[in-house]
Amino acid sequence: MWVVLDNVFGKKGDKMDILEIIEKKSNGIELNKAEIDFAVMGYVNGEIPDYQMSALLMAIKLKGMTDKEIIDLTDVMLHSGDVIELGFDSIDKHSTGGVGDKTTIVLAPLMAALGVKIAKMSGRGLGHTGGTIDKLESIPGFQTSMTLENLEKQVDDIGVALVSQMGNLCPADKKIYALRDVTSTVDSIPLIASSIMSKKLASGASKIVIDLKVGNGALMTTLSEAKELARVMVKIGQLSGKETICVLTNMDEPLGYAVGNALEVLESIATLKGNGPDDLNDLVINLGSLMLYLDKGTPIEEAIEYVENALKMGSGYEKLEELVKYQNGDLAGIKVTDKTVEVLSDKDGYIKHIDTLKIGEIARKLGAGRLTKNDVINPAVGMVLHKKIGDKVLNGESLVTVYYDDKPVIVSDVLDAFTFSENEVSKPELIYEIIK
């Protein structure tokens, strides 16, 4: 049975003032836990408005936080609502977000098919990065909300559930998460670490694997930043008694070929049927083997073989069908717009670089992401790349198919995202480092 632990709320000091807290952090001074609690819970309770919390978030982004502040912020966000203890061990996988990152939709049913219980709560798109919940909602009828009782029953029945943040779990993160998306405070190590780890700890996961994206399409653009974020998250996990592994992976080009919600679900289906792109296959195999190792103690080499075989056999797709049926979705009803534009190369050469951030922003402007927190996602739009880094391209050959609806397609913007070389270019490395 799941158990909801008591809420823990800090007490506000009589003389505390949000303006003083903003000023203190703007001057790079460490905040104590009472001040962090006052600011966060004041915002959750509606006593502190968006504009003041935005100012504090920007101060945190610019001045950073100490480890103690980050741990305190995580704890306040974790205990801003209910904390769940599931009646079974569940391995959680999280991605810090990237362009074309549909890994969870492939990995969750695949691991369930291998006997790993997955009770996963996912988020919506943040900035130029896509969100798993937005992608799942492109499946007609798919219900991303359910009660905790139904979550546990579903995992008992079929081994997997993919849902949005439910009930009163981390309401502070939910509210701050939406604000960060529209205030240019997404790429902040303290805010990313506390957001991810508060959700993971609140949702009852026994152990955690984090796919930490690095590159021009990720929140962390350099390896040094990514290693620091990984260090902080692993430390938070260890202090909370949850074994945590961070895998630093390449986001200098979109993952797979599809970018956009329905398009990415279709590519996920193809992958589960054994016809996925090489980079997505490799990432799923690597992350899946770590999850199998954490859950069952399977040696990594054996775990890799199990995951590879499950992909080839299509057992993950069968589990996806079960998952979608349980959550009232209709895989056959997935639709993409029939309006398309082919973006053709204007030269011969090899793809040397892809501006992944630009690709993500173009998809966002087409309607695949949000420009304001109240925007409605258009699941039918996006892009499918036909060439990746290292591929040879001929003049006039299609680089990208753009799927659009009511937003204009600016072909020159898409072309500008690609840099060419006359010489052969090596395929990029996918996995940089594993941090435990």
298-313 tens-digit pLDDT: 999 999 999 999 999 9
Is residue 428 situated within a structural domain?
no
Count structural domains, the chain: 3
Question: Does residue 108 sit in the same domain as residue 72?
Answer: no
DSSP output for 267-323? HHHHHHTT---HHHHHHHHHHHHHHHHHHH---HHHHHHHHHHHHHHTHHHHHHHHH
Query: Last residue of some domain: 304, 333, 362?
Result: 333
Q: Tell me which residue of 204, 186, 200 sits closest to 234, measured CA to CA.
A: 200
Residue of 93, 94, 364, 387 marked catalytic: 94
Amino acid at 186: V
Instruction: Annotate 255-281 with DSSP letters as a single string.
Output: SSSEESHHHHHHHHHHHHTT---HHHH
Whether residue 198 is predicted with pLDDT greater than 50 in this model: the reply is yes
- Indicate which CATH number applies to the domain containing 347: 3.90.1170.30
State how far Cα 148 lies from the chain centre. 22
Q: How far is CA 154 from CA 171, 202, 272, 389, in A?
A: 24, 19, 21, 41
Among the listed residues 82, 173, 279, 295, the single catalytic one is: 173
Contact 399, 349 (CB under 8 A): no
- Set 25, 199, 227, 370: catalytic member: 199
pLDDT category at 355 given cuts 50, 70, 90 is very high
Greatest CA span in the chain, whole angstroms?
69
Using pLDDT thresholds of 50, 70 and 90, give the confidence band for residue 5.
Answer: very low
Answer whether residue 436 is part of any domain.
Answer: no
Instruction: Say if residue 319's pLDDT is above 80.
Output: yes
Q: Is the Cβ–Cβ distance between 192 and 96 less than 8 Å?
A: yes
Please state whether beta strands 91-95 and 118-122 pair in parallel, antiparallel, or not at all (unpaired). unpaired
278-300 residue pLDDT tens: 999 999 999 999 999 999 999 99
Q: Does the annotation count 94 as an active-site position?
A: yes
Percent of the chain, pLDDT > 70?
A: 95
End position of a domain, from candidates 30, 45, 78:
78
Domain identity same for 242 and 130? yes
Residue 1's pLDDT is 34
Alpha-carbon torsion angle 421, 426, 428, 431, nearest 10: -170
Per-residue pLDDT band at 35 (split at 50, 70, 90): very high
The set of long-range contacts for 370-377, using a CB threshold of 8 Å and a minimum separation of 24, is 370/124, 370/125, 370/181, 370/182, 371/182, 372/182, 373/178, 373/179, 373/181, 373/182, 377/125, 377/134, 377/137, 377/261
Is 427 within the bounds of a domain? no
Residue among 349, 336, 348 at smallest CA distance from 402: 336
User: At residue 8, does pLDDT exceed 80?
Assistant: no
In a domain, 430, yes or no: no
Mean pLDDT within 19-43: 97
CA dihedral 264, 295, 119, 104 (to 10 degrees): -10
pLDDT of residue 314: 94
Average pLDDT, the chain: 92
pLDDT band at residue 14, thresholds of 50, 70 and 90? low
User: Which percentage of the chain shows pLDDT scores above 90?
Assistant: 83
Calculate mean pLDDT across residues 402-406. 96
Is 391 assigned a catalytic role?
A: no
Q: Is 315 known to be catalytic?
A: no
Q: Is residue 97 included in any domain, yes or no?
A: yes
Please count the other Cβ atoms lying within 10 Å of the Cβ belonging to residue 384: 22
Active site residue 199: yes
Query: 129 is written with which tokens?
Result: 């990065």
* Helix/strand/coil for 96: coil
Active site residue 187: no
**Are 99 and 224 in a shared domain?**
yes
The pLDDT tens digits for 228-250 are 999 999 999 999 999 999 999 99
| Residue 23 lies in domain | 3-78
pLDDT in tens, 107-136: 999 999 999 999 998 877 666 667 899 999
Do 344 and 327 sit in the same domain of this protein? no
| Confidence band, pLDDT 50/70/90 cuts, at residue 13 | very low
Q: What does the pLDDT average to over 180-184?
A: 87
Q: What's the CATH code of the domain at 300?
A: 3.40.1030.10
Q: Which of 195, 198, 203, 345 is catalytic?
A: 195
Domain boundary at 11, 44, 78, which? 78
